Chain A
Amino acid sequence: MIKLDHLTKRFGRFAAVDDLSLEVRGGEIMAFLGPNGAGKTTTLRMIGGLLEPTGGRIEVKGHDLARSPLEVKRIMGFIPDRPYLYEKLTAREFLVFSGGLYGVPPDRASSRGKELLRLFDLADWSDELIESFSHGMKQRLVMASALLHEPEVLVIDEPMVGLDPRGARMLKNLFRGLRDRGVTLLLSTHTLSVAEEICDRVAIIHKGRLISVGTVEDLRLLAHRHEAGLEEVFLTLTSEGEELKD
């Protein structure tokens, strides 16, 4: 569903993403892991159409992002790591606006927005200004807006940040439900337990390069840590990646 082909992004001489090739299959949840500064956010921003790659190709559901950006964006929901919200809009207004961006008619956006606000426990706040929302509430609102146009692909940078345990559990169940309905999810996260719990496959990136991809079991084998949790596997693989690079 998402295909990255020799994707590269350079900032001056620094390669933030270096010749990255990866495929996310339709209807799977893939965790995109890596230490800080590994190039996760840059990769996701390129998939989201916010940054232009220096080299390589991004394909979503057979559409080349560079050639048909609108086709790709229509079927995709993207949530950046620090999403912008209009503080002086109410939650409901924001959803109607956001739906409008994806061509959802206002009445449909309004009715579906209501459902989503209820789903994300924000129904009582629908007419409050966003400036009065807590960080977690804003995160839930952004999530609701990304689901409004019923995307086939969801790309989310750090979905769990700021969520309370209840919100985190709700989100995990939601992701599973979406996958069961055929939605493809690519999540960047530092919460390895989430990756272990709900993701079908995990890709690990380090210093801009893909160092491993597979199920958690595959990665355990690769790291020679058969009984270990994902955290230890991650640390082993990224420290090996460090040595390889050095």
Chain B
Amino acid sequence: MTESSLFNLFSPKIWSVMNRIRRRDRTTIVRIAVGSILALLFWLGAASITTRVLVHFRSAEIIGDLLAAKLLAMYWLVLFSVLLMSGLITALSTYFLAADLPLFLAAPVSISRLFYARLVETTALSSWMVFLFGLPVPVTYGRVYGAGLDYYLAMVPVFGSLILISVGVSVIFVHLLMRVFPARRTRDVLILLSLVGVLILYFLFRFLRPERLVNPETFATLTIFVAELGAPSSPWLPSVWAAETLIPLLTGKEGTPYFHLSLLISTAAAVAVIGETLARKVYAGGVSRAQEGRRIRLSGRPIVEKVLGRIAFAFPGGVGLVLAKDIRTFFRDTLQWSQLLLLAAIIVVYLYNYMVLPLDWIGAGGVWLMHLIAFLNLGLGGVVTAAVASRFLFPAVSQEGHAFWILRAAPVSLSRIVWGKFLGGLIPLTILGEILAVVSGVLLNVSTEMIVLSAVTMAFLSFAISGMAVGLGARYPDFRAGSIAHVQMGYGGMIFMLLSLALIVLVVFLLAWPTYRIVLAGEGWVPVGAGPGALILLAFGAAALVCTGSGLVSMRLGIKALAAGE
């Protein structure tokens, strides 16, 4: 008998996707459709921004091209870093933690073949999104500079080699890490490393204040700054080789593009061979250790146990028990609690945006504009809370997963459990919403009436969004989902996001005129008067009713569907 072919080793993944499409799996089709639209919008947006930036740069004589080249080098460096981070997490999962590994380990499949099969899978999984979202930039460069066919042709091996190098290095790193840590701990370390990396990039980008590029006064000094800053240009960095390959082909200036291209290709091949050699030596031991359990640390401490014990019995009917269980599992899963860091970063950057608003540009209509921004901020804050709810609250019921039968079989009321999950989500979500609404109001220096109005509206919105998230999450649960992202991106998750956006738009629409009148009155310009006063009350009443109603109806729908076992 011959050894299994490489294709056979990853064929189940391909067949699975084909079957999903062939059988018109609703979630897959919705995901593909929404994903395609978003990707297209992103492509158009990225191409348009890149074109504007490049045209802007090229208008600066002497250093314009230099600046564009520097930015391209930085682009390749960022792309390479993101690929490395994405590769690390994916490699750990595909090589050491995948559920289907026992099938291959029990079969007569050599480690070399398994290594290459998983390398293909890791490469595809970790790079498709980076590739898809990264492609518009070099393509736009080519368009703006009127590059020849050789530029576009060279992009294929440049992208391919860079992706393979980054994934190969990640795979090697993960194999080495597995010699030091057990797999689950390695996973935690990698998740945190990647997250910190993303946060650093995020903060760096935001604090560079790219919006200053459009301000003619700061542009001149900024161009000099960027030109001097440049990207790391170590001759050992593959991202530099990528830039050195493409820039001469792009600008027609002197260089050694084919030398750098061959460096990229040969390094990619070498990394793959080195990885395979290493895997043959360490993989068997690593994958065996990966099956060992891990110890609980912080959440097993007596003080934490005491607090959770209190919570467990503070709420009757099993609600407290479920809440305590949810808290325990949340903090034992690095993939979950580490998202809080990301959330904190989003809040910081969100508020930072208001701190760096160019208030000095605003003239006489300043007060008016501030109130307008504060009002629109309600909608924006609502969108942020909805996004957070879709990540943390919507999957709350689905997260019971295969263990959901325990709740169903237990003599507890499902309705109470779902309401418990709602309450558990409502409190932190309201706090988040209030921080966004109130602090940004204070930073904008708007009137007290406006701040109170924002706070009250945000409280109602938080109630509605929490109810919709938990309720629709119960209406469209996915107990088989492999990850939260699957739940979030599924059919129900999409419906939740669309409905919450519609709700936010409706509330903003209902409150626009009343807020306008209140601000006018607050500034002493036009008193409210009896007639408009009644209309204002009516609008606020309608907004409150819409919020409360959508939260309650969603919860009722979810509980009913869950109880019926739909």
B59 contacts chain A at the CB level, 8 A cutoff: no
A100 contacts chain B at the CB level, 8 A cutoff: yes
Beta-carbon contact of A149 and B285 below 8 Å: no
Q: Which residues of A contact B (CB under 8 A)?
A: 11, 45, 48-52, 69-71, 73-74, 76, 78, 80, 83-84, 86-90, 93-94, 97-98, 100-104, 129, 131, 149
Taking CB atoms and an 8 Å cut-off, the chain B residues in 72-117 that contact chain A are 99-100, 102-110
Taking CB atoms, residues of chain B closer than 8 Å to A52 are 284-285, 288
Taking CB atoms and an 8 Å cut-off, the chain B residues in 227-255 that contact chain A are none
Closest to A100 in B: B8
Contact pick for A70, options B5, B15, B110, CB 8 Å: B110
Beta-carbon contact of A48 and B106 below 8 Å: yes
Beta-carbon contact of A104 and B1 below 8 Å: yes
B26 contacts chain A at the CB level, 8 A cutoff: no
Taking CB atoms and an 8 Å cut-off, the chain B residues in 115-145 that contact chain A are none
Taking CB atoms, residues of chain B closer than 8 Å to A104 are 1
Cα A26 to Cα B123 with chains together (Å): 44
Taking CB atoms, residues of chain B closer than 8 Å to A100 are 4-5, 8, 11
Beta-carbon contact of B8 and A101 below 8 Å: yes
Smallest CB–CB gap between A124 and chain B, Å? Answer: 18
Taking CB atoms, residues of chain A closer than 8 Å to B413 are none
Taking CB atoms and an 8 Å cut-off, the chain B residues in 1-60 that contact chain A are 1-5, 8-9, 11-12, 15-17, 19-20, 23
Beta-carbon contact of B3 and A70 below 8 Å: yes
Give 8 A-B pairs besides A50-B105, A70-B109, A101-B108 with Cβ atoms closer than 8 angstroms: A48-B106, A49-B106, A80-B106, A87-B480, A89-B16, A93-B15, A129-B19, A131-B480
Cα A181 to Cα B489 with chains together (Å): 52
Taking CB atoms, residues of chain A closer than 8 Å to B100 are 84, 86
Taking CB atoms, residues of chain B closer than 8 Å to A98 are 103, 107
B448 contacts chain A at the CB level, 8 A cutoff: no
Cα A86 to Cα B20 with chains together (Å): 12
Beta-carbon contact of A51 and B3 below 8 Å: no
Beta-carbon contact of B480 and A102 below 8 Å: no
Beta-carbon contact of B8 and A97 below 8 Å: yes
Beta-carbon contact of B99 and A73 below 8 Å: no
Taking CB atoms, residues of chain A closer than 8 Å to B284 are 52
Cα A52 to Cα B23 with chains together (Å): 41
Cα A94 to Cα B9 with chains together (Å): 12
Taking CB atoms, residues of chain A closer than 8 Å to B293 are 11
B266 contacts chain A at the CB level, 8 A cutoff: no
Cα A104 to Cα B292 with chains together (Å): 32
In the complex with contacts A51-B288, A102-B1, A89-B8 CB distance below 8 A: no
B291 contacts chain A at the CB level, 8 A cutoff: yes
Contact pick for B1, options A50, A83, A97, A103, CB 8 Å: A103
The contact sample of 8 A-B pairs, CB cut-off 8 A, is A50-B106, A84-B103, A87-B16, A100-B5, A100-B8, A101-B8, A101-B107, A103-B108
Beta-carbon contact of A89 and B108 below 8 Å: no
Taking CB atoms, residues of chain B closer than 8 Å to A101 are 4, 8-9, 103-104, 107-109
Closest to A105 in B: B2
Beta-carbon contact of B1 and A89 below 8 Å: no
Closest to B482 in A: A87
Cα A94 to Cα B8 with chains together (Å): 11
Cα A210 to Cα B17 with chains together (Å): 46
Beta-carbon contact of B23 and A129 below 8 Å: yes
Cα A11 to Cα B100 with chains together (Å): 22
Smallest CB–CB gap between A101 and chain B, Å? Answer: 4
Taking CB atoms and an 8 Å cut-off, the chain B residues in 266-306 that contact chain A are 284-285, 288, 291-293
Beta-carbon contact of A89 and B12 below 8 Å: yes
Q: Which of A45, A50, A70, A149 has the most CB of B within 10 A?
A: A50
Smallest CB–CB gap between A86 and chain B, Å? Answer: 5
Beta-carbon contact of A103 and B11 below 8 Å: no
Contact pick for A73, options B19, B20, B107, B288, CB 8 Å: B107
Cα A102 to Cα B104 with chains together (Å): 10
Smallest CB–CB gap between B478 and chain A, Å? Answer: 12
Contact pick for B292, options A11, A76, A84, A90, CB 8 Å: A11
Cα A87 to Cα B480 with chains together (Å): 10
Taking CB atoms, residues of chain A closer than 8 Å to B104 are 101
In the complex with contacts A49-B105, A73-B108, A129-B23, A86-B12 CB distance below 8 A: yes
Taking CB atoms, residues of chain A closer than 8 Å to B285 are 52
Taking CB atoms, residues of chain B closer than 8 Å to A131 are 480
Q: Which of B5, B106, B288 has the most CB of A within 10 A?
A: B106
Cα A71 to Cα B108 with chains together (Å): 7
In the complex with contacts A70-B108, A88-B19, A89-B15, A103-B2 CB distance below 8 A: yes
Closest to B285 in A: A52
Beta-carbon contact of A84 and B108 below 8 Å: no
Beta-carbon contact of B3 and A97 below 8 Å: no
Taking CB atoms, residues of chain A closer than 8 Å to B99 are 84
Cα A97 to Cα B11 with chains together (Å): 7
Taking CB atoms, residues of chain B closer than 8 Å to A87 are 16, 480
Taking CB atoms, residues of chain A closer than 8 Å to B9 are 101
Cα A52 to Cα B106 with chains together (Å): 12
Q: Which of A71, A83, A86, A98 has the most CB of B within 10 A?
A: A86
Q: Per-position contact with A for B526-563: 1 when CB-CB < 8 Å, else 0?
A: 00000000000000000000000000000000000000
Closest to A93 in B: B15
In the complex with contacts A84-B99, A149-B1, A102-B107 CB distance below 8 A: yes
Cα A73 to Cα B109 with chains together (Å): 8
Cα A53 to Cα B188 with chains together (Å): 26
Taking CB atoms, residues of chain B closer than 8 Å to A86 are 12, 15-16, 100
